Amino acid sequence: MTRRVALINNGKQYAGPALAREFAARGHDIVLAMPADGLVAELEALGATVEVVDGKIDISNAGDAQKLVDAGIARFGRIDTAVMFSGQIIIGRFLNSTIDQLHNIVHTCLDAPYEFLKAVVPPMVNQGDGQVLVITSAAGARPTPGAPLYSSVRAGATMMTKNVADEVASTGVQVNACGTNFMDFPEFRKAAGADDPERRAFIESQVPMGRLGTMEEFAAFCMTFLDGTSRFTTGQYISYAGGWA
């Protein structure tokens, strides 16, 4: 049986390394941009063939997501499953916000999934099979005091994903979205001040489960939508935020 081919837009930040390890452990070859140091060797030790796309890839920019798809098809002949994440957290009250802040969030949180979906979905439609997961934010699932622009744009990305899913459902391509919050990774900790123990304790008190989530458990959860074992769900959004949303 031909090994499935997975595409990840970033192998260095957020859940990228954890997702790559899960794919490799589940028998996938991998198309990857910007892998973390030592990650490729780890994946190859797990049996994966890894196609690394050289240079900085920012899928918010037109054409960068297509570079990933083109590299994967050139190396493996197909893309079976693809996952993306992007975005910059900007906090502050709406009445103090600026139009430049809004444009920046739209670029990183809405342009990126748009460009990604435009690149990965057409070849999957042509092959009559494929799975896509767009990682947005649980902040887009409810009003989020202190992050109104971010919350609003993330909600737009989730709805765009659901619309794409509806458009291509009859082709056999699954498109779903998942949104996180209160995750233990550097960008969140910096934005929330969670590297300070007292501040972290306060933040964790806002989470019904009382802690931050890990990248490893999140990556394992994502595999339900990505590893080919569950093929009857599309157009769905789920929050991964410890009960907060």
pLDDT band at 90 (very low <50, low <70, confident <90, very high): confident
Q: What's the pLDDT score for residue 147?
A: 92
Task: For 139-166, write each residue's pLDDT tens digit.
Answer: 999 999 999 999 999 999 999 999 999 9
List the single range of 1-5, 10-14, 130-134 with lowest mean pLDDT: 1-5
pTM for the predicted model, two decimal places: 0.95
Q: Averaged over 89-110, what is the pLDDT?
A: 94
Could you give the CA distance from residue 233 to residue 164 in angstroms, rounded to a whole number?
14
What is the CATH number that goes with domain 4-240? 3.40.50.720
pLDDT band at 193 (very low <50, low <70, confident <90, very high): confident
